[in-house]
Amino acid sequence: MSLSRRELLKMGLLAVCGTVIPLSALEILKPEAAASLIRPYSEHKRWAFVVDTTKCVGCGMCVKACKLENEIPFNIDVQRTWVERYVQLKNGDVLIDSPHGARNGYIKNDPQGKEINEAEVAKGIFVPKLCNQCEKPSCVQVCPVGATYKTSDGVVLVDKGWCIGCGYCINNCPYLARFFSPVTNTADKCTFCYHRITKGLNTACMDACAFGARKIGMLNDPNSEVAKIISTERVSVLKPEYGNEPQVFYIGLDAIVR
């Protein structure tokens, strides 16, 4: 077979053009994607959380309410939600602490137990943390017995009657949101107060917050405050590099926050 220079160039160009069209260019043809052009919110229910760190004063009322609501022993250092304090000093040092998960609040300027003169502080920030109820929870993937799972509405739960307490999930959470419960001897974690949100109530931590730093709502409900904030304001998530797709969105995070 003989190939003219013209034909070679033609075929070569065609081949190059063909290979550079990414498969994702054809994604729009998927029915869900096409539907989202007409209706921007999907039918799929999904709980999500917004934490406004600019409003958090570090009183720790949320931690107290969470512990009492979910029967986590108050005086033991395990908690489903906790508040971290990040203090950057003028000399550049960053001090991070969360004494007892902040269940008694922050009442003086003593990061890591050392009293610090207010004049030395460059900036500080309180960061409430809780389970991120990830879209791709790495804790669920490692459970050897199927005792932890994601519900259809996106909340990751622990089946306490089935958990064998091996602790894999606790090690596998990049957010350290899981702990070993000394009461049930199983893994335990924040459930977004599943017993409350499924009854139409707010989470205990959200109700306890007098400053409006915590909000829960349906991601796919255009009227929910959470959906409005996520779609119109500048939000970020913690540790996106792990690829867990966390569903707790933060307002006002800083580079010193981990």
Partner 1 sequence: MSHAWRPVFVVLAVVAAIVVMRVILVPSDFTAKDGDYKYQWHRLSAEQVSKDFTVKHRGRDFCGQCHPNHIEKMKDSGHQNIQCENCHVMYEPAKKSHPINLKEDFGYLLNIGIDRSRELCKRCHAELSYRPKTYTSSKGTEKFKQIDPTKHNPGIECAMCHDVHSAGFKTAAK
Nearest residue to the partner ligand HEC, using Cβ = 210
Our finding on whether 210 is near ligand HEC (CB under 6 A) is yes
Task: Determine which residue in the list 124, 128, 217, 246 makes contact with partner 1, applying CB under 8 A.
Answer: 124
The size of the interface with partner 1 (CB under 8 A), counted in residues, is: 58
Backbone angles phi, psi at 84, to 5 degrees: -100, 150
Contact 156, 134 (CB under 8 A): yes
Place of tokens 């730093």: 213
Q: Residue 238, Cα to own-chain centre: how many angstroms?
A: 7
**What's the distance, Cα to Cα, between the start and end of the chain in Å?**
64
Our finding on whether 191 is near partner 1 (CB under 8 A) is yes
Minimum CB separation from ligand HEC for residue 63, in Å? 12
Cα distance between residue 65 and residue 77, in whole Å: 15
Cα distance between residue 114 and residue 119, in whole Å: 14
Cα distance between residue 127 and residue 51, in whole Å: 8
Contact 172, 138 (CB under 8 A): yes
Interface region with partner 1, contact rule CB under 8 A, candidates 3-11, 103-111, 165-173, 235-243: 103-111
Task: Determine which residue in the list 51, 61, 63, 65 makes contact with ligand HEC, applying CB under 6 A.
Answer: 61
Our finding on whether 87 is near partner 1 (CB under 8 A) is yes
Our finding on whether 109 is near partner 1 (CB under 8 A) is yes
Q: What is the binding site for partner 1 (CB under 8 A)?
A: 54-61, 64-65, 67-70, 74-75, 87, 104-109, 118, 121, 123-126, 136-137, 140-141, 146-152, 157, 159-162, 191, 194-196, 198-199, 201, 204, 207-208, 210-212
